[in-house]
Amino acid sequence: MQRDPRTYLFDILTAVDAIFEFLKSADYDAFRASDLLRSAVERKFEIIGEALSQMSKIDIDLASRMTRWRDIVAFRNILAHGYASVDLDIVWRAHRDSLPQLRAEVEALLRELSALTSKTR
């Protein structure tokens, strides 16, 4: 059975919020020094990319409404398969520079989909 695209959006939102929580009191040096912190953040980025990848298979129009969604999926693939070449600077910048926009876009899509769902009832 195919998942509702909103479940992928919730998965993305939950992972984004987890990254923000993990890093709320950490600076870049603390992030680099902690294997646990790096692993947790990378795992949540993998979830974000996988959720977008799966969502694109069932609703490409919805996935394409998120800025640079293909880059996010590619980033997930690097984290999952190219673990030996992960650049921590890129992971840190992705958290700092890209996640706020992604979070806002996901929230907007969820509001829109919820409004559509309530109109059809």
Which residues are part of the catalytic machinery? 76, 81
The rounded distance, in Å, linking the Cα atoms of 3 and 84 is: 33
Do residues 8 and 51 lie in contact, with contact meaning Cβ atoms separated by under 8 Å? yes
The rounded distance, in Å, linking the Cα atoms of 114 and 8 is: 14
- How many C-beta neighbours within 10 Å does residue 18 have? 16
Reduced to 3 states, what is the DSSP secondary structure of residue 57?
helix
* Cα–chain center distance at 22: 14
Give 34's DSSP letter. Answer: -
